[in-house]
Amino acid sequence: MKRWGLVMSLAIISGLVLSACGQSKEVASLGAASITVKIGILKNVTHAPGFIALQNNYFQQAFGANAKIEVTSFDNGADFATAMATDQLDLGYVGPGPVINQYLKSKNIRVISGVNNGGAVLVARKDAGIRTVKDLVGKTVAVAAKGGTPDLSLRSLLQQEGLKVSTDASGVQIVTRAPADTLVAIRQKEVDATLIAEPWGTQIIQEGTGTILVDWNKIPPKNGNYPLTILVANDKFLKDHRDLAKKAVKANKQGIDFIQQNPDKSYELISSELKVLTGKGMEPALIKAAIDHLKLTQDITLADINEQAKISFDAGYLKVKAEELDFSKFLDTSLLDEVKKEK
């Protein structure tokens, strides 16, 4: 009897130990698998690969079922860049101009992939008497934000034409308006022209209030073949979750591929994501016109970054010495190179 009691006691103790071990492993497993990834994106169709990656759950599938994805949308790249630098975002889609400026201040943002080149047009108000770029002298031209990529393109275009930026009628006056506000400003004759990312330019044309002065494939630099949207990540996320950053590069590529292979299906998905971000979708025909005005590509070079940085520096946006314009560490294509090798 004593022996039987001893056996029963040992069995009970063993069961309790195994149960405790199992529970501790389960708790540890749940804790280790949980992560929140904060993604930022602008409300422009030029960010379409990101819209598709979100709508088709490419990010979710890549990061895993236990990852929580938080998406924050922005009206301009300056606010995005600030959020990225202050760890409010882990990664996301933005134009090069604002993050070039922010990088020189904080040094904690990296470009990890291209997204699309081109996609902005210069539109003149129909009754503003503007027939050529030189007619912009004494006129007011709107851009989404000072230092943004369209602003830099506009300044480069004016320089090519021998025109100066000024605050009076002796040159071209540049003002800032959010894209949606620019449409209203054109209608109400508050501005004379705008260099604006799609689909806003096409929308102005279709509603009959403006005409294209310079089409997307003639916008400098490189006649529209310049980065308008890029994928970036902050240093902390790259250090702590390099594997997830690599998966984000893959998800971006999936978004690009889907648009190229399934254009008609893409328009509806892009409209759906716009509705999520802004509360309002967009006509597929308008989205198609916008997509036709850009070149989807993951490729991006240091020369592309340097070119835009020089324009920004010449405009006085970059408050550094010329010799401090070093972006060799700002562009990190190591993850992109790995993804390409795995094809």
What is the model's pTM?
0.85
Residue 76: pLDDT band (50, 70, 90) is confident
For residues 165-176, give the mean pLDDT.
Answer: 96
Integer CA distances (angstroms), 183 to 95, 224, 297, in order: 21, 22, 28
CA distances from 285 to 113, 116, 271, 291 (A): 28, 20, 11, 10
* Residue 28 clears pLDDT 90, i.e. is over it: no
Q: At CA 111, angle to CA 115 and CA 200, rounded to 5? A: 40
User: Residue 264 has what pLDDT?
Assistant: 94
Lowest mean pLDDT among 14-18, 27-31, 60-64, 250-254: 27-31
Of residues 5 and 292, more confidence is placed in 292
Number of other CB atoms surrounding residue 55 within 10 Å = 18
pLDDT at 297 over 90: yes
- What residues pair up with 121 in beta bridges, in sequence order? 196
Other C-beta atoms closer than 10 Å to the C-beta of 64 total 11
pLDDT in the model for residue 247: 98
The tokens for 74 are 């922005």
Integer Cα distance of 26 and 87 in angstroms: 30
Q: Summarize the confidence of residues 34-56 as an average pLDDT.
A: 95
In the structure, what pLDDT confidence band is assigned to residue 75 with cuts at 50, 70 and 90?
confident
ω into residue 221 within 30 of 0, thus cis? yes
Domain ranges in the chain?
35-118+227-341, 120-224
Q: With H, G, I as helix, E, B as strand and everything else as coil, classify residue 285.
A: helix
- Tell me phi and psi for residue 248, to 5 degrees: -65, -40
Please compute the mean of the pLDDT values over residues 296-305 and round it to a whole number. 96
Rounded to an integer, the average pLDDT of 245-269 is 97
Torsion, Cα 133 44 220 231, to 10 degrees, reads 170
User: How would CATH label the architecture of 35-118+227-341?
Assistant: 3-Layer(aba) Sandwich (3.40)
* H or E stretch covering 83: helix 77-85
Model confidence at 329: pLDDT above 80 = yes
Closest CA to 274 of 48, 5, 13, 79: 48
Count CB-CB contacts under 10 A for residue 31.
8
User: In the prediction, which pLDDT does 33 show?
Assistant: 57
DSSP H or E run through 112: strand 109-117
User: If you average pLDDT over every residue of the chain, what do you get?
Assistant: 90
Q: Cα–Cα–Cα angle for 81, 83, 84, nearest 5°?
A: 65
295 vs 50: CA distance, rounded Å: 15
Per DSSP, 327 falls in state -
- The secondary element (H helix, E strand) that includes residue 23 is helix 2-33
Long-range (24+ apart) CB contacts under 8 A made by 309-313 are: 309/100, 311/152, 311/155, 311/156, 311/221, 312/97, 312/100, 312/101, 312/147, 312/152
Top-confidence residue, 28 or 136? 136
| Average pLDDT of span 91-99 | 95
120-224 maps to CATH 3.40.630.10: no
Intrachain domains 35-118+227-341 and 120-224 with the same fold:
yes
